[in-house]
Every structure is written in structure tokens, then in C-alpha cells.
Amino acid sequence: METYFERYVASGGIMMYFLIPCSFFALWFAIQGLINLRRARVAPERIRTLLASCEKSRDAAPFRQMVEKDESTLSRVLRRLMEIRPMPSAEEWRDIAAEFINEEVSRLYHKNNQLSVIYTIAPLLGLLGTILGMMDTFYIFAMSDQHSIAQLSRGINQALVTTLWGLSIAIPSFVVLYLLKQKLFYYETSLLPETIKNLMEQINALENKSTLSDADGSHEKAS
């Protein structure tokens, strides 16, 4: 009786040497993408928590220090926005923020785009295995005087096994890739713009308060 390995792996022929590594790469890239695009990696809550703490103490310095060191997508955009001097108008600010967000999301997309390569080549490798299996079948038939059902079945089985593997890799890869793209779309169009708008308003208000406090302190010393 055939084992699972013999029936679904060994019978696939030489193309299995390519399809099996593809399956492991697909799993690795899928896990990596899902981890990298977690909300905690893109827009961590600790940034808003620290800003709220800074508002109470009226000191923006700890927040600026954190944004300088933090490598989340939200921090990278904030860092670039906070470097702009003088502050642009509200309309210009929205356009600049949208441009920075688009650049950072594009960077995330390219960083996690390896899965699309696997999704593309896996069914092609399966198709190549199908062609090789059918070619072997016809070659055996042409060279053999005695044609048997077993010979035909082996060739067709090889063709179908590689097709099965190619689709089994490509379909889950496509689903995960779709989920990752939906996440990126949500981050670019909703989460990041809204979060950055709120944070920048808080930062500007905090810096204005700090400036007023410094000015009041200077007047008191002068008096």
C-alpha cells in the first residue's frame, strides 16, 4: 500500500525539488508579512500614551526623543513632519502628510512583497511538472510495445500531483497577499492619516504651551 509521501510527494517527479522549497518559503513569507504588518508594528499605542503623558507635564522633549529612536511607520512619518519648518498651512500639511504616508506604505509593501513572487511562480512550476509528466507518458507509450493502464496512470499521476502542489501553494499565498494588501490600504487611507492628524494637533498644542510657559518663566525672572 502506498504511503502518503509516495502518493503525494515522490510521485511528483523532479519538479517536487522546486515545489517543496516553494511551500516553505510561502509559509515563511506569509508569517513574516503578518507579523510585520501588525498594528503594533505600524502604529504602536505607546506613541499616543507617551504624548498624553507629555501633555500632563507640558514637556515635548521625551516624545521627540522617542520618535527619533522608534522605527515604526507612524514614528517615521511623524519624524519627517516634525522636521518641517516653518509649519505649512493646513491644506499643504495634509498633502505633505499624505505623500509621506504613501512613501512609507510603499516601503512596507516592497518589504513584504516576496509572497507575490511565490504566488506567481508556484502554479507555473506545477504546470511545468504537468507538461513533463504528460511528455513522459507519451514517450513511454511511443517506445513501448506493450501499453498498460499502469504506465498511463503513472504519467498522469505525476502531472496531477505537481498541479495539486502548485495550486496548493498559490491559493493560500493569494489569500494572505490579499489580506496584507487590505491591511496596507486601511493603514494608508484611514489609520495613519487620522492618527497623524490627531497627534500633530496635540504636538503643536503642546509645543505652544511649552513656549508660553518658557516665556512666562522668563518674564518672572526679569521682574
Q: Is residue 94 part of a domain?
A: yes
Residue range 45-70: average pLDDT? 88
How many other C-beta atoms can be found within 10 angstroms of the C-beta atom of residue 177? 20
Query: Given a cut of 90, is residue 111 above it in pLDDT?
Result: no
- Per-residue model confidence (pLDDT) at position 211: 58
- In this structure, the dihedral spanned by the alpha carbons of residues 13, 19, 23 and 28, taken in order and rounded to 10 degrees, is 130
The residue with cell 496596507 is 184
Q: Please tell me what DSSP assigns to residue 72.
A: S
When the pLDDT of each residue in the chain is averaged and rounded to a whole number, the result is 85
Q: Is residue 207 part of a domain?
A: yes
- Per-residue model confidence (pLDDT) at position 82: 85
The Cα–Cα gap between 204 and 88 comes to: 12
Q: Is residue 221 part of a domain?
A: no
CB 125 within 8 A of CB 166: yes
- Per-residue model confidence (pLDDT) at position 145: 63
Q: Is residue 7 part of a domain?
A: no
User: Which structural domain, as residue segments, surrounds residue 205?
Assistant: 15-216
144 vs 215, residue with greater confidence: 144
Confidence of residue 148 (pLDDT cuts 50, 70, 90): low
Q: How far is CA 127 from CA 82, 158, 216, in A?
A: 52, 11, 76
CB 73 within 8 A of CB 108: yes
Residue-wise pLDDT for 65-101, tens only, equals 999 999 999 999 999 988 887 777 767 888 899 999 9
Task: Work out the percent of the chain whose per-residue pLDDT is above 90.
Answer: 48
Q: Is residue 2 part of a domain?
A: no
The Cα–Cα gap between 126 and 15 comes to: 8
211 vs 216, residue with greater confidence: 211
Q: Is residue 8 part of a domain?
A: no
Q: How far is CA 158 from CA 98, 124, 142, 150, 162, in A?
A: 51, 15, 18, 12, 6
CB 70 within 8 A of CB 45: no
Residue range 106-130: average pLDDT? 92
- Total domain count for the chain? 1
Cis peptide before 62 (omega within 30 of 0): no
Q: Is residue 193 part of a domain?
A: yes
Confidence of residue 213 (pLDDT cuts 50, 70, 90): low
Length of the chain: 223
The Cα–Cα gap between 159 and 134 comes to: 6
Q: Is residue 96 part of a domain?
A: yes
The Cα–Cα gap between 35 and 40 comes to: 9
